Each structure stands twice: as C-alpha cells, then as structure tokens.
Structure 1
Amino acid sequence: MKDQYKIAICDDNVFCTKIESYIYEYYGKNNVKPSIFYSGEEFIKSKDKYDCVFLDIEMIDLNGIEITTMIRDYDLDTYIIVSGFPKYKNVSYRLHVFDYLDKPLKKTTLFKTLYDMTMLVKKNKMFNMNIFEQIKA
C-alpha cells in the first residue's frame, strides 16, 4: 500500500485549483488528500495536522507569514511551502519554510518541490516507524 499524503492548500480560488490539479497529477488521486482553504482564518480554525501546507504570502485576513508563525508555534514537522512574489522570500526563509514558489507557478518547479518533500516525509515516517518498533521490542 502506498502512502497517502495529507496536504493543505491555502490561497485564492484560482491558485488553489491549479495547485490541486498539479498535486493530483503528481501523486495520483488515491495517494493524496488535499484540503482547500480560501482564507488564513479558515485554515487556522481547522487545526488539522498536515504533511505539507501550501500558503499564499498575500491574503486578505491572515497572510502567509502570520500563518507560518502560528504553525511553527505548535508544529515544527509540517513542510510549509509559501508562494508569492520574490520580495517576500527572505522573511519566509527566516520562518523555516521548506520552499518558496514564485508566482506565476511553473509545474516543473512544483513537481521538484513535491519530489523533495515526499522523500523527506517518507524518510521521517520510516524513522518514526523504526523508533516505534524499537520501543515495542
């Protein structure tokens, strides 16, 4: 059985649809479970845990920087991928985001980011499974 990746996308309608379609194209429909949020407040209220979160840097209510800061207060393991314009890269990386995707988004760039993130998620899951097995023994 293949892993199913839990991914959140928090952006405007057009960009959410684009990322979601690329994610399905990359993983296949049965291997990923994307959740779509059209505002930062909606995402924060969900309180779900994700393998990866795509955040827009510029949103009306909470922006990507504010949301990243909130996530990092309780979760250091989620891979956060921020999208926006180049002028926000430095502040994003100071918050330990996994990657920063420039808009307009290129599919090849997103696929490379998904590949890198997937390899790390698999490695972490394998590490955690090994630790659990050692504890059980």
Structure 2
Amino acid sequence: MRIAIVEDNVLHQETLLRYLNAYAAEKKLEVLVDCYQDGIEIVDQFKCNYDVIYLDVEMNIMNGMEAAKRIREHDEEVLIVFVTNYVQWAIEGYSVGAIDFLLKPLTYFHFEEHFKKILNKLVAKVKKAIPVKVGSGIRKVLLDDILYIESEGHYLYFHLKTEQFSILESMKNMETRLKEEHFFRCHNYYLVNLKYVKSIGKNGLTIGSETLQISRPRKKAFMEALTNYLGDGTLA
C-alpha cells in the first residue's frame, strides 16, 4: 500500500506518519509513505501510484483543495483524505471525491477508526479493478463494470454498464491481463466478461442488450470456458 502525506507543518506531518506506521505494525500491513511539504510538490511529481493521499487543506503555495483538483485530472480512483482545522471544508471536499476528513489535533483513536474504513475501501478496489492508461493519466476500472471490450484498429473500446471509453492498447495484451479474471475472447474483436453472458445462439452471444458474434474457431473453447465459469453449465 502506497500513501502520501502532504503537510507543511512538520509536527502534524510527523504525527500522522507515526500513526500510520504504528497501525501498520500492529496489523502487519506493508505500507510505503512519501511526505511532501506543499501541494505543488505532489502535483509536480504525481505519477498515479498512490492508494491514499492525505492533504492538509491550508498550505502556502498550493493548498490541499487545489492540489486535489489537479490530482483528480489524472487519477479518479485514489482515495483522498483532507486533514484540517476547519470542518467547513468538508462541503467543498465532496466536489473532488474526498473519502474522509480528519480534524486536527489528530488522536490515534480517531485515526484508527478512520483507517479501518480506508482499508475496507482499498480491499474492495484492489480485488476488482484494473488500471488502464487514459490520455495522460491512469484510470482504474472495476471489472464488474465491464460488459465487454471491443478491438478496432489500434484502439480498445471498453463497454461498461453505464458508459464507453477507448484506450490505445492491443487486444492481445488486454487478453493476457484479464485471462485469470473470467474474461474470454470469443472473436478477434471481442473480449467478453463471462459473468454477463445471458444466452448463446447459433453464431452469437447476448451480453447486456447487445448480440456479439462468436467466431467458429473459438466457439468450442469459449463454450468450455463459459461452462467452467458457470459450474453447472446453465446460463444466468
């Protein structure tokens, strides 16, 4: 687990770092913590590689709220926690998807209760998400949201439950990444989530509200994969 602390007050920074290390040692968690003195530092060096970011709201060069807005331009999934003296920042924090707020002065008891919620969020995200490069940033896509992935030229089109988006990637690479996640390539152009296959026809399958073709050379292997996934061989 990789965590960033962005805090210009050395005492507060050290307190939060001490609490993180103490909790990690108690629960036998592996954590790597980076500390920054101002919002501009993390924004300039940001590489979409953090699970959690703790942001002091009030900092001299770039405050935590502005830093959070910049970070959200590149990473929609990282958990952002604001650390502040003033509870009124909470309303504005929702605009950048803050997961929680910690009020100063911070006590270990309150931190412990807070971090239990963070761990629950992280466990859910890590189990079912895949990071993909979108433009200049990284987007973590929940596997349960993916109906199927379509190949067209050099691009892959992700067909999700509520939206579609594209990335520059090969189908072969994506198939390799998802081979252990119950996705199967039923056609040169389609990689489908077996969970959402509703029915099988003579030459195609129904997934969501769409019908996708199953290529003849792949049909036998596809049916075997689907049967193994369903266990009893019946379609959901």
- State the TM-score, normalizing by the size of structure 1: 0.88
Q: Could you tell me how far 1:128 is from its partner in structure 2?
A: 2.8
Q: Does 1:27 align with 2:75?
A: no
SS at match of 2:15: helix
Mapped contact 2:19–2:108 kept (Cα < 8 A): yes
Give runs of aligned pairs for residues 54-133 of structure 1, distance below 5 A.
Answer: 54-84=54-84, 85-128=86-129, 131=143, 132=178, 133=180
* Whole-angstrom CA distance in 1 between matches of 2:88 and 2:103: 10
RMSD: 2.0
User: Which stretch of the first structure deviates more once superposed, 92-101 or 22-31?
Assistant: 22-31
* Whole-angstrom CA distance in 1 between matches of 2:129 and 2:89: 34
| Counterpart pick for 2:4 among 3, 8, 32 | 8
User: Which stretch of the first structure deviates more once superposed, 50-59 or 124-133?
Assistant: 124-133
- The gaps in structure 2 that reach 5 residues or longer are 131-141, 144-177, 185-224, 226-236
- The gaps in structure 1 that reach 5 residues or longer are none
Q: Could you tell me how far 1:71 is from its partner in structure 2?
A: 1.1
Higher relative contact order (CA 8 A, sep 6+): 1
* Whole-angstrom CA distance in 2 between matches of 1:97 and 1:21: 22
Q: Could you tell me how far 1:124 is from its partner in structure 2?
A: 1.3
Q: Could you tell me how far 1:36 is from its partner in structure 2?
A: 0.5
Mapped contact 2:79–2:98 kept (Cα < 8 A): yes
Show CA shifts across 1:20-51 (max 9, x none).
Answer: 11000111286110000011111112213200
Show CA shifts across 1:68-88 (max 9, x none).
Answer: 111111111100000112131
- State the TM-score, normalizing by the size of structure 2: 0.52
Residue identity opposite 1:25 in structure 2:
A
* Whole-angstrom CA distance in 1 between matches of 2:110 and 2:3: 17
Residue identity opposite 2:22 in structure 1:
E
* Whole-angstrom CA distance in 1 between matches of 2:6 and 2:20: 14
Percent same amino acid among aligned pairs?
Answer: 23
Residue identity opposite 1:57 in structure 2:
V
Higher relative strand content: 2
SS at match of 2:101: strand
User: Which stretch of the first structure deviates more once superposed, 76-85 or 107-116?
Assistant: 107-116
SS at match of 1:34: strand
User: Which stretch of the first structure deviates more once superposed, 85-94 or 127-136?
Assistant: 127-136
Higher relative helix content: 1
Q: Could you tell me how far 1:101 is from its partner in structure 2?
A: 0.8
* Whole-angstrom CA distance in 2 between matches of 1:112 and 1:76: 24
